Amino acid sequence: MARLEGAVAVVTGAGRGIGRAIAEELGAGGAKVVVNYSRSKGPAQEVVESIKSNGGQKAVAIQADVADAEQAARLIEDTVNEFGRIDVLVNNAGINIDRTMKKLTPEEWDRVVQVDLNSCFYTVKAALPHFMEQQSGAIVNISSFVGQAGNLGQANYSAAKAGIIGFTKTAAIELARYNVTVNAVCPGFIETDMFSSVPEEVQEKILKRIPLRRIGKPEEVARAVRYLVVDGDYITGQTLNINGGIYM
């Protein structure tokens, strides 16, 4: 893409954590940003104001539960109606419901797969006609090192995140003819609300497993996304690991 100035970027689940950092990073680069949220309008609007106050061109918050195919399609439609096009799609929306398989219910399995994996297909499916018409675009799907290595008590989450990697590779093959790149980013443990909810003694054990001996920052993931969008014209179907060395 070479530059973000004036590009239209959609970031799902952008009200906090990694999604917020990505939205702010793309906005700082001059993109017009759609800050997607499912339920919490307040935090999403804060991201919008943050982007604007830091010199961003334009940002809007759009509600849609992307785990629902119709709402995901409406998100893309509303984006095009607002800005006339879509250039960048970042699939970040995700949840976790951690249980060992002994305790994990089918409903908990389905919910995580629906939000974390199926939403990626729904948004890409809806955006595809616009990318095809433009003959350009960049898609970045946020996976996780857990989708590569697995993790105790996260069968649903690891399956969904592994699915994102497989989906990314196939989408990259199919969309290459339209000059659309599709890549995945796999963060390790990052300073987010999700990590903060982990008991302190567990956090200490996690730190010992990370060769760089620290937790990653959302901004570090955001910069990786920006790199793929701006400088990744010849990068597609790849997985970029931002994990401090916890999985190599």
Q: Which residues are catalytic?
A: 157
Which residues, in sequence order, are bridge partners of residue 34?
10, 60
Residue 140 amino acid letter: V
User: CB–CB of 235/228 below 8 Å?
Assistant: yes
Q: Residue 132 is encoded by which pair of tokens?
A: 């095809």
Residue 5 amino acid letter: E
H or E element: which one contains 166? helix 155-175
Nearest-angstrom CA–CA distance, 90 and 213: 28
How many helices (H) and strands (E) in the chain? 10, 7
**For residue 11, which phi and psi values (nearest 5 degrees)?**
-120, 115
User: CB–CB of 14/92 below 8 Å?
Assistant: yes
